[in-house]
Amino acid sequence: MNLIRLITPLDDLTAPVLVGAFDGWIDAAGAASATADHLAYGADIAATFDPDALFDYRSRRPVLDVVDGVLSRLDYPQLAIRRRKLGGRDLLVLHGAEPDFRWKQLADDVMEFALTHGVVEWVSIGAVPAAVPHTRPVPVFATASDAGLLRHGETQGPEGLLRVPAAALSVVEMGVSGAGIPTTGFYAQIPPYVGGPYAAGTIALVEHIARHLEIDVPLGSLMDEANAQRIGLDSAVQSQDETRDFVARLEAQQPEDGIPSGDELATEIERYLRDAGDDPR
C-alpha cells in the first residue's frame, strides 16, 4: 500500500524541488515548520498521506470539536505535499506532523514520488537548539549529498562526528539521496532560552533557501514579527542578571563562522531533548 494519495495531477511541473519539514525535535521554536508554511503560503494540496498508517493517535491525538453538546468535527494529524510556483519553478513542500510509524516505507514512497515527478533536488529544513545568542544573526549550517551543491556562501557542517537521535525527515532525505537525487539541508541554530516562535530563525531559513534555489521569496510580515520578538527578548534578558550574564557568555563564545563543532551541537541537542522529556539515552 502506497502511503501517498495524489489529490491533483502533477504532470506540468517545472524544475520541481521537494522541500521537507516535520515538526518534532528537529523543529526548535517551530522555525522549520514556520518556514515550510511560509514557502507554501496560498499553495494547493497536491498529495496527502494516510494518517492511520503513520500516526499513533494516543500520543498525537486528533482534535475533537464539540458544538452545543454535539460531536461535530475530528481533525487528524496531517502530512501533505503542497505545490507553489515561485521564480518560474515549482516548489513541492512536504510538511506536517512527524510520523510515528513506517519511516522506511515513507522514505521509499517519497523517493518513488520524487522520481515519478522529475524532482531535481530535495531540500530539508530544520531548526536545532544551539549555544547562540539572540543578539547575533541566526547561524545556519548546511548539509549536502555533494559538496558541489552548496553555493552563495553556504557553510557545510558541523565539522567532526555529530551523533544524535534521527528524525523522520533525515530518513526520508537519505532515501531520496539513495535514488540519485541531489539533496541539501539547511538548519537554523536557535538560542536555548527561546521558547518560540522565533521569526528570526524562519527568516534565516527562508533567505538561505531563496539564495540556494535562486528564487525570490517575499518575507511578508516576518520582519515585523522578528523585530517585536527581539524587543521582547532584549527586555526579558535585561531584567534578569543571570540570563544577561548567560547571553554575554554566548556572545563571547560564538565561533566566527557561527558553526559549532559536532560535539558542541550534540551536547546542546541532548540537553534540549532531556528538558523536553524526550531523553535519547
Confidence of residue 280 (pLDDT cuts 50, 70, 90): very low
Average pLDDT, rounded, for the chain: 88
Question: So what's the pLDDT on residue 162?
Answer: 75
- pLDDT, tens digit, for every residue of 108-149? 999 999 999 999 999 999 999 888 899 899 999 999 998 789
**What is the rounded distance in angstroms from the CA atom of residue 247 to the CA atom of residue 189?**
15
For β-strands 121-129 and 17-22, DSSP reports them as: parallel
Question: d(Cα 17, Cα 238) in Å, to the nearest integer?
Answer: 43
pTM given for the model: 0.87
pLDDT at 154: 80
Number of neighbouring beta carbons within 10 Å of residue 235? 9
pLDDT at 281: 36
Of the candidate ranges 99-108, 141-150, 151-160, 261-270, the one whose mean pLDDT is the lowest: 261-270
Domains of the chain with CATH codes: 4-275 (3.40.50.10900)
25-67 per-position pLDDT tens digit: 889 999 999 999 999 999 999 999 999 999 999 999 999 999 9
262-268: long-range contacts, CB 8 A cutoff, minimum separation 24: 262/158, 262/159, 262/160, 262/161, 262/162, 262/163, 263/160, 263/161, 264/130, 264/131, 264/158, 265/128, 265/130, 265/158, 265/162, 266/162, 266/163, 266/164, 268/128, 268/129, 268/130, 268/131, 268/192
Peptide bond into 158 cis (omega under 30): yes
Quick: pLDDT tens for 204-243: 999 999 999 999 999 999 999 999 999 999 988 888 878 7
